[in-house]
Amino acid sequence: MNYQNTLQFAQQSDQQDELAPLRDQFIIPQHHGKDLIYLCGNSLGLQPKQTQAVIAEQLSNWGNLAFEGWFDGDTPWMQYHKQLTKPLAGIVGALDTEVVAMNTLTVNLHFLMVSFYKPTAKKFKIMMEGGAFPSDQYAIESQVRFHGYKPEDAIIEVFPREGEETLRTEDILQKIVDNADELALVLFGGINYYTGQFFDLEAITKTGHAAGAYVGFDLAHAAGNVPLQLHNWDVDFACWCSYKYINSSPGGISGAFVHQKHHQNQELNRFSGWWGYREDKRFEMKPGFKPQNGAEGWQVSCSPVLLMAAHKAALNVFNYSGGIEALRTKSKQLTGYLEFLIEEINTSHQKQLFKIITPKNPDHRGCQLSIICENGKVIFDKLVQNGVLGDWREPDVIRLSPVPLYNSFIDVYYAAKFLSEAVQ
């Protein structure tokens, strides 16, 4: 697009946007009687308008059917999770049998590491990106301690080069090669929460496998944000939350992926539970765990129906979007427009007031831009006062994320306008 720093350009872009009607599917918070400019979908997505009705339906079933709701009604709870499978598979690029909605993100991370972190005396190390989200750091630290290792001995972190903000793919791959003899698992985020960098998951997977390691990803900031092809990339496992770009309620149910090639692997450990037992034999209540085929065999606990109802409402909106590729096209345009306007501010002041640390290449980022500026917290607070809500990350980053499902070019135009005014 040939961007212009004018309200007219933003208005015309919205008028020409085929996905603009999706905004009407969401409840937009208000600020002094006007729509809030909400650029915080990287932390919590907005509520779809149909969420209340979909949850209310299951509350009604609970009230009218009680226990029989598991087996009767239009949406029996025993099979409720299966309604989520196909749309989830489409979002992460998987076969239907490879995905399941269950638990929460870090819980799934632990359960999957039980299966795919199999340290030996020689190969016992885990590689991760330096500065990963704390949940990943804590989960990995506790897993290596559980197996009797010290984190400083068993965890390899990959950091950007001195003076750089993001990782170079060649450095990640070389680090894997250099540590191949001791590497048991490569576990990266799909998109780094702080910088917004979208890693080359296919290349990492290929190189990790060549080193004889399993490869998995935390897709908290990637699922629903960027196109993924977990099956075709031969990823061993992945998990993600649903409350960011998938908009499935605060702390909503998570998702998990296990590649088809592992479904019959009896050598993989797993912490099993009744809900992962074979469906056709589950109520025989016999000892000896026999898993349901596919990712559903990694389920442990009974499905939380109300959380799944909120998830279903959110996934329904994705069905209207034309698919993740259509959303990706708009995402690149919106984020590119925000980047253009920020650079316009820098140009008008003849200095770099705002430093964008997110990769400039649109293929190497999602919809998030991470910005460093002098007096950043003061400027962030000014944005909030003017009805622009991004989020602040210590020590010095403002994150702004124009989400294609519900953000507009007008949102981006005014966000940049208030950003410019905040530095006066």
- pLDDT grade, residue 385 (50/70/90)? very high
CA distance 188 to 165: 17
Give residue-wise pLDDT tens across range 250-273: 999 999 999 999 999 989 999 999
Give residue-wise pLDDT tens across range 95-119: 999 999 999 999 999 999 999 999 9
CA distance 197 to 361: 10
- pLDDT grade, residue 283 (50/70/90)? confident
CA distance 286 to 291: 13
Would the pLDDT of 321 be above 90? no
CATH code for the domain defined by 7-35+323-422: 3.90.1150.10
Would the pLDDT of 320 be above 90? no
Using alpha carbons only, give the angle 393, 225, 25 rounded to the nearest 5 degrees.
100
Q: Where are the domains of the chain?
A: 7-35+323-422, 55-320
Structure tokens at 79: 């099979």
The secondary structure of the chain in percent helix, strand, coil, rounded to multiples of 5, reads: 45, 15, 40
Query: Is beta strand 369-373 parallel, antiparallel or unpaired with respect to 388-389?
Result: unpaired
CATH class name, domain 55-320:
alpha beta
> How high is the pLDDT of residue 202?
98
CA distance 220 to 243: 9
**Which of 224, 159, 225, 227 is closest to 196 using CA atoms?**
225
> How high is the pLDDT of residue 377?
93
Containing H/E element for 392?
A: strand 391-393
> How high is the pLDDT of residue 322?
82
**Which of 35, 26, 58, 21 is closest to 248 using CA atoms?**
26
**Which of 158, 199, 162 is closest to 175 using CA atoms?**
158
Of the listed ranges 57-61, 227-231, 349-353, the one predicted with least confidence: 349-353
- pLDDT grade, residue 374 (50/70/90)? confident
Terminal C-alpha separation, the chain? 29
Of the listed ranges 279-288, 351-360, 379-388, the one predicted with least confidence: 279-288
Which pTM value belongs to this model? 0.96
Mean pLDDT of the chain: 96
CA distance 6 to 385: 23
Instruction: State what percent of residues in the chain have pLDDT above 90.
Output: 92
Average pLDDT for 283-312: 94
Give residue-wise pLDDT tens across range 193-239: 999 999 999 999 999 999 999 999 999 999 999 999 999 999 999 99
Would the pLDDT of 396 be above 90? no
- pLDDT grade, residue 319 (50/70/90)? confident
